[in-house]
Amino acid sequence: MYRWIIILKQVCIYKDAVLIYKRSYGKIIPQEIIKTLIKDFYKEEIGSVHYRNYEKYRISYIIEKDFKVLFIFVNNKDDDSIFIQKELIRCKVEFFNLFKNILDDPAEKINLTSFEPIIDSIQNRFPPIIAFIGYHGVGKTSIIDLLRTKEIPIQHEPKISGDIATLKIGRFYILLRDFTGQEDIGFLWNNFVKGSDAVIIVTDSNFSSVKRCKYFLKVINEEAPSANITTLVNKQDLINILKTSEIENILGVKTYPVTATTREKLIEITLEILDIKEEVSPILELLNKRQLLINEFGYAVNNINLEKAALVYQKLIDICAELGDNPSEMKFYRRYHEITNKLRSTNHIKEEFTSEISGLENEDSPVRISSLEGLLKKLLSNYMIKVEGVISVVVSDRDGFVISLQSKKDSGDESVLGAIAATVDSFIERIKKEFGRESSFFNITTIHDKKFAYCSMGSKSILLTISELLTSDTELRVFSEHIAGKVELLLEGNINVSLEIPEIIKSLSKTKDGKIPTGTFALKLILTGDYGVGKTSLNLRFVQNIFKESYRSTVGVDISQKIMYLSENSKLKFIIWDIGGQIERMAQHRSRFYGGANAAFIVVDRTRPKSLNNVEKWYGEIRRFIDKSVIIILIGNKSDLEDEIDVSEGDLKKIADLHGFKYILTSAKTGENVNEAFRYIAYRFLESV
């Protein structure tokens, strides 16, 4: 009847009733059932999308009788039919673009691999979803973190929200949903589970916990009846717990222990529950091969065998292409290009360093200044203007090669620049020994009548500040960390970095006349503001130093923590409450999130003026729900989107001055001024200790 049958999601392509291509993305309707149903499809009109329901599935299809081609998309009944219709039509168009003139050729002569990018694109738009569900504190998020990051976090704050993560295995994408176990907002569980292809119930191993999970089975049966279900049980190493076989008898689903479970085992469980283990196994083999090559690449680099590193690098590029991965997002790629760029620029850097320390005696000699160098010099000049006691500032890479240098003319060029030449070389080995490859550090050493402050806020550079003895350590630290952070952004290629130093930094540097109390302290900080202004992104940038292009808006509140080291004997633990600003239904619950707060951010999206107008609303909530004075900063976020800015710095300053709190411009995407905002809160809080 049909010469060609193309079945999407679980991708099967038949020619003359013979399966010539198969690629599964999950457990879908059996093929023999498809063959039975399509006997009736031929009666339908051609060119339009039709639908049939069969048991728990919806079958969408398009017929092209002239070419005897049938396009089918098998999916769950809850899936977005409009989206599927578009994908079916797109698939049909692309298929005929590629194969219209060769449809009658023998199957072995038709190269279907050229159709794989279309298949990948459809799957990426409609990936299988696994929902993780369980009661408070059973370890759902830790399991997902293990899947994503290859390590179990030592500490974790339970979430009062929903989160969504993506597990990428080569060309395969799987969405992992992690929802709160807090029962007081359990009314959202049904919506969370709805539409999932699989559900993993996470529970402790005691009888009462397992028995309570029967409620989840009821929710799953109502909202995702076609989903596969399994159970992961925690704390199997304790006494008086149930065996996995006993848990399976109670819940009636396959059960796995979490204790001693590796990332590889979790991936295996994930593939089994989606019934795609057979299809993904070859990809896992490629991933293992790539990891071995990455280890080989690292060994070659560490032994300065650049010829070997280049050969391994090319093999890694080929495997990435086979897996559909972008190599530029991987560490080996960045490391290789850092090495090659450094080899090309080493001679130039050395020549420039020699020219600088000679005091540029020959004013007529040509000086090559790149746009990056110009930006760095402007930034360092602004630093020296702001801090009177600073004599010279140097930016070098981690091996001591000088990238940029600024010095005051009246400081005695020969002696100061001679000290720079000597100290950069002598201190670089000491820094390597004390701090290793740590990305962030700060250290002050006094030599005769000068202070030498070394600071790094990333892996690319070290900032050296030479100052008078009267310059306070706090001032040096605050400004050094701010400038070093901007240097890293510039070296990473962020050209929209502001070279001006915010007034909040000057204010911060004068805290307590440069004295920081010793001890360990804790502070509760709440992040407020409209939905989508970037609160979660600011939090992720500060806590994990990452940025996600897309994320699920916070429902309720997310709680995280980070320790900030302010000096050798002083540290502050931030407990950060990221309050959702989107769902009005949650407004009545927000009052309990504010209790005990010491400080607050009110975050504004500089591309959305309405978020500025709502500052009064959030300030009102802070005053209403917190019965004491708190430190408040107005955050103007998304400052990197220069062409879309609708909220000026003057607009922010006007509101901040009106209410008597500070403001700062940030970019969660680049990281600009994010640490500074949190650091200001830290120092201001310690003033009251």
Over residues 363-389, the pLDDT tens digits come to 343 333 346 778 888 999 999 998 988
Q: Is residue 661 part of a domain?
A: yes
Do 496 and 515 lie in one domain? The reply is no
Is residue 158 classed as helix, strand or coil in its secondary structure? Answer: coil
* Total structural domains within the chain: 5
Do 136 and 236 lie in one domain? The reply is yes
Q: Is residue 352 part of a domain?
A: no
Do 517 and 659 lie in one domain? The reply is yes
Please return the burial class of 33, using the count of CB atoms within 10 Å of its CB with bins 0-12, 13-18 and 19+.
middle
Cβ neighbours around 183 below 10 Å, total: 11
Q: What is the pLDDT of residues 504-563, one digit of tens each?
A: 887 777 665 556 778 889 999 999 999 889 998 999 988 888 877 655 555 567 888 999
Do 172 and 112 lie in one domain? The reply is no
Task: Specify the higher pLDDT residue, 554 or 684.
Answer: 684
Do 163 and 271 lie in one domain? The reply is yes
Alpha carbon of 206 to those of 235, 239, 283: distances in Å? 9, 9, 37
Do 312 and 294 lie in one domain? The reply is yes
Q: pTM of the prediction?
A: 0.44
Asked which of 82-91, 94-103, 115-124 is least confident by mean pLDDT, the reply is 115-124
CATH number of the structural domain spanning residue 11: 3.30.450.50
C-beta separation of 330 from 336 below 8 A:
no
DSSP at 45: P
Please return the burial class of 173, using the count of CB atoms within 10 Å of its CB with bins 0-12, 13-18 and 19+.
middle
d(C-alpha 613, C-alpha 529), whole Å: 11
Look at residue 225 in the predicted model and tell me its pLDDT: 81
Look at residue 78 in the predicted model and tell me its pLDDT: 66
Domain boundary among 324, 341, 358: 341
Q: Which residues contact 543 (CB under 8 A, 6 or more apart)?
A: 560, 561, 562, 576
Query: Average of pLDDT values for 122-132?
Result: 79
Alpha carbon of 295 to those of 282, 288, 299, 309: distances in Å? 20, 11, 6, 11
Domain boundary among 91, 124, 157: 124
Instruction: Tell me the residue range of the domain where 538 lies.
Output: 511-687
Residue owning tokens 């391994």 = 312
Look at residue 489 in the predicted model and tell me its pLDDT: 87
Do 250 and 282 lie in one domain? The reply is no
CA angle (275 as vertex; 272, 281 as ends), nearest 5: 70
Residue 279 has φ and ψ, to the nearest 5°, of -75, -30
Q: Which of 161, 105, 217 is nearest to 527 (CA)?
A: 161
Query: Average of pLDDT values for 606-629?
Result: 90
**413: pLDDT confidence band, cut at 50, 70 and 90?**
very low
d(C-alpha 427, C-alpha 419), whole Å: 11
Q: Is residue 364 part of a domain?
A: no
Cβ neighbours around 129 below 10 Å, total: 22
Residue owning tokens 């529970």 = 203
Q: Is residue 350 part of a domain?
A: no
Q: Is residue 351 part of a domain?
A: no
Task: Specify the higher pLDDT residue, 45 or 633.
Answer: 633
Look at residue 370 in the predicted model and tell me its pLDDT: 45
Do 544 and 683 lie in one domain? The reply is yes
Judged against a pLDDT cut of 50, whether residue 359 lies above it is answered with: no
**What average pLDDT is seen over the chain?**
77
Per-residue burial over 85-96, b if 16 or more Cβ lie within 10 Å, else e, is bebbeebbebbe
Asked which of 17-21, 239-243, 492-496 is least confident by mean pLDDT, the reply is 17-21
Task: Specify the higher pLDDT residue, 593 or 582.
Answer: 593
Query: Average of pLDDT values for 269-290?
Result: 82
Do 30 and 103 lie in one domain? The reply is yes
Look at residue 304 in the predicted model and tell me its pLDDT: 55
Is residue 240 classed as helix, strand or coil in its secondary structure? Answer: coil
Do 167 and 229 lie in one domain? The reply is yes
HEC letters along 58-92: EEEEEEEHHHCEEEEEEEECCCCHHHHHHHHHHHH
Domain boundary among 275, 299, 316: 275
Q: Is residue 354 part of a domain?
A: no
C-beta separation of 136 from 158 below 8 A:
yes
Q: Which residues contact 188 (CB under 8 A, 6 or more apart)?
A: 162, 179, 555
Q: What is the pLDDT of residues 136-170, one digit of tens each?
A: 777 777 777 777 654 444 444 444 455 677 787 87
Query: Average of pLDDT values for 4-11?
Result: 64
How much of the chain, in percent, has pLDDT values that exceed 70? 75
Q: Is residue 362 part of a domain?
A: no
The most confident of 2-11, 169-178, 212-221, by mean pLDDT: 212-221
Do 119 and 15 lie in one domain? The reply is yes
Q: Is residue 506 part of a domain?
A: no
Do 249 and 286 lie in one domain? The reply is no
Terminal alpha carbon distance of the chain: 83
Task: Specify the higher pLDDT residue, 501 or 163.
Answer: 501
**361: pLDDT confidence band, cut at 50, 70 and 90?**
very low
